[in-house]
Amino acid sequence: MQPDADLTFETWVQAFGAKAQLAGLDLGLYAQMMSGVKVQTLVLKKDRTQPEFSSRIWSYLDRALSDQRIDDGRKMLVLYQDLFAKLARDYGVGAGLIAAFWGIESAYGQVRGSLPVLDCLATLAFDGRRRAFFEAELLGALQILVAGDVSPQGLMGSWAGAMGHGQFMPSAYLAHAVDYDQDGKRDIWGDEPTDALASIAAYLQNSGWDAAVSWGCEVRLPNVFDWSLLHSDQRRPVAFWCAQRVGFVAQELPLSLNVRLHLPAGHQGPAFFLTQNFDVIKSYNASDAYALAVAHLADRLMGGGAFAQEWPRHARALTTPELACLQKNLTLRGYETKGADGKFGPNTAAAVRQYQADMGLTPDGFVTIALFESVIGG
């Protein structure tokens, strides 16, 4: 929804100039940089397109970890092996992980975005749905231009303003980008990826990446398991989980390391131990599916195998209306979902688990068509 429908783009540009000036930007420079900036209708179209229903995690992982993505990544590790070795020494972040971010964000630099970043950010800020966020990012983009790291023509990105090999938003660029080849410019946009890959490594180091441990690993649950242990953000020592008969599949972790258990597709899918490094990956993009894709691609690039446990591929995702209907019926039956918006969140997950427990089902919080039919039919 447009908060103020009679605001024109020109009026908004002028009003934002006052804010930019307050933030320390020279008004003449602002007018100069914004002079050619225009609304990109393509950007608004992209912003309005919402998926009909969220796809299952395995569909996302299939796309993110195609054979091509893995093959290309292994070639990049060879091509840039000296750079990756240097980055591992300087930032404590391994080659596989940096390459995995590179692969997922821009297909190893092949898809860096070719839209003018000022246009995209100004369009989204003017549109108003998330004005404060995009005004802050636009200010960041203007500051990047003022700093002289890139020419106005070179300030290109994807439709929502993510730029270069690592798809950094301007705020991330200002906080983390580095001039690793020491030519005086922090260049994340050009063909040559040295600064961009170092900037990804710096981002992770600054976000708390612990070089001594991995992101986690796949594990196997016993047949009899205390499911109340699953849905907690609390990390417990590996030794605790081993005492619960949770077993390693391939890679093992030290017994004293704190991990939490993660089952992204319920008890029929793969299970994982996650260290605090998994949350560092999520600081780049807060999605669990994204973080698992990056983590797993990193392992695959370093020679690791596919997950041992298959995904429950027969279990299609519920549509938004189906999920809203499930929420309504759960609430009617005393399992409070706190709203029926058709979006799966922690309240719905908790309601589903309680329902499953009361019905004698495995309380993993994973929604299937069978569960949906059980709730609305019962």
Nearer to Ca ion, 179 or 288 (CB): 179
CA 350, 356, 360: angle at the middle one, nearest 5?
145
d(CA 212, CA 196) in angstroms, rounded, equals 24
| Residue 83 or 298 having the CB closest to Ca ion | 83
Owner of token pair 């730029």: 163
373 binds Ca ion (CB under 5 A): no
What minimum distance in Å lies between the beta carbon of 183 and Ca ion?
4
**Token couple for 174:** 């200002």
The Cα–Cα gap between 103 and 101 comes to: 5
Nearest CB to Ca ion, comparing residues 184 and 360 = 184
Minimum distance between the CB of residue 179 and Ca ion, rounded to whole angstroms?
4
Q: Which of 298, 224, 40, 271 is nearest to 290 (CA)?
A: 298
Choosing from 26, 71, 183, 192, the residue that interacts with Ca ion (CB under 5 A) is 183
- Name the one range near Ca ion by CB under 5 A: 84-92, 96-104, 121-129, 185-193: 185-193
Cβ at position 92, least distance to Ca ion in Å = 21
**Residue in 137, 140, 291, 273 with CA at minimum distance from that of residue 209:** 291
Q: Min. distance of Cβ 176 from Ca ion in angstroms?
A: 14
Least separation in angstroms between CB 186 and Ca ion:
6
C-beta of 72: minimal distance to Ca ion in Å?
24
**Quick one: 192 or 358, whose CB is closer to Ca ion?**
192
Nearer to Ca ion, 102 or 307 (CB): 102
* 195 binds Ca ion, rule: CB under 5 A: yes
Residue 224: Cβ within 10 Å count:
7
In the set 47, 62, 90, 179, which binds Ca ion (CB under 5 A)?
179
Task: Please identify, among the stretches 97-105, 174-182, 220-228, 270-278, the one whose residues bind Ca ion according to the rule CB under 5 A.
Answer: 174-182
164 alpha-carbon distance from chain centroid: 16
Least distance from Ca ion to the Cβ atom of residue 91, Å: 16
- Where does this chain touch Ca ion (CB under 5 A) — which range of 192-200, 206-214, 251-259, 283-291? 192-200
Number of H helices, E strands in the chain: 17, 7
Parallel, antiparallel or unpaired: strands 156-157 and 115-116: antiparallel
Applying CB under 5 A, which part among 150-158, 177-185, 224-232, 276-284 lies near Ca ion? 177-185
Alpha-carbon distance 49 to 266, whole Å?
Answer: 29
**Site for Ca ion, residues 224 to 283, rule: CB under 5 A:** none
Q: Does 62 bind Ca ion (CB under 5 A)?
A: no
Question: Least distance (Å) from Ca ion to the CB of residue 196?
Answer: 10
Instruction: Give how many residues touch Ca ion by CB under 5 A.
Output: 6
Q: Residue written as tokens 């690793």?
A: 180
C-alpha span between 373 and 378 (Å, rounded): 8
Query: Residues 258, 206: contact at Cβ < 8 Å?
Result: no
- 3-state SS, residue 218: strand
The partner residues of 116 in beta bridges, in order of sequence, read: 156
Per-residue CA distances from 338 to 204, 323, 350 (Å): 35, 13, 11
Q: Are 312 and 266 in contact (CB under 8 A)?
A: yes
Whole-number Å distance between alpha carbons of 138 and 186: 18
Q: Which is nearer to Ca ion, 194 or 309 (CB)?
A: 194
CA 170 to chain centre: 16
Considering the rule CB under 5 A, would residue 190 count as an interface residue with Ca ion?
Answer: no
In the chain, the DSSP E strands lie at 115-116, 156-157, 216-220, 236-237, 247-248, 258-262, 271-274
Is the CB of 148 or the CB of 303 nearer to Ca ion?
148
Nearest distance, CB of residue 175 and Ca ion, angstroms: 17
For Ca ion, the closer CB: 90 or 181 = 181
> Does 181 engage in binding with Ca ion (CB under 5 A)?
yes
Name the residues that contact Ca ion, by CB under 5 A. 179, 181, 183, 185, 187, 195
